[in-house]
Amino acid sequence: MQQTKTYMARPDDVEQKWWLVDASDKVVGRLASDIAMVLMGKNRPTYTPHVDNGDYVVVINANKVVLTGRKWEQKQYAWYTGYPRQHHETAGKRRQRRPELIIREAVRRMLPKNKLAFKTLTKLKIYAGTEHPHQAQLPEPKELGIKD
């Protein structure tokens, strides 16, 4: 009787690539779920849950992202500073102030809630404009967040 061995990736076996994603005119949720899959490495056949085998993702044009419906006025972001009361702001105000936080929060909430997710989130680089300082890594363009 022959047993089949299950492949488990090791951290030193993983070859991580750099991807460039243009977020202009993309829906936040669809884009964030695709980015989370690439960061975790679920798009690879060698996916292993306890190993960081995902790729780096550079997102540009974060200020041109799209929310469906009336979410620019209705969606509320809240955070606690340590002082009494929470701070609130709408998605429209956040897009004016720090548009990269919209995508970062959406991706963070789609990652698993463990220590590996914190390490995985550091591989996400988001920029509001078209310029980014990662040309030396030669990121390849990748189309994410499109409706199939």
Question: In the chain, how many domains are there?
Answer: 1
| pTM for this entry | 0.92
CATH of the domain at 52: 3.90.1180.10
Per-residue pLDDT of the chain (148 residues; tens, 9 = 90+): 788 888 888 988 889 999 999 999 999 999 999 999 999 999 999 899 999 999 999 999 999 999 999 999 999 999 999 999 889 999 999 999 999 999 999 999 999 999 999 999 999 999 999 999 999 999 999 999 887 6
Would you say residue 127 lies in a domain?
yes
Would you say residue 93 lies in a domain?
no
Would you say residue 126 lies in a domain?
yes
Would you say residue 120 lies in a domain?
yes
- Residue 34 domain boundaries: 18-67+106-141
* Cα angle value 81/63/111 (rounded, 5°): 60
- For residue 31, list its beta bridge partners: none
Report d(CA 132, CA 128) in Å as an integer: 9
Long-range contacts of 83-91 (CB under 8 A, 24+ apart): 91/67
Would you say residue 100 lies in a domain?
no
Would you say residue 111 lies in a domain?
yes
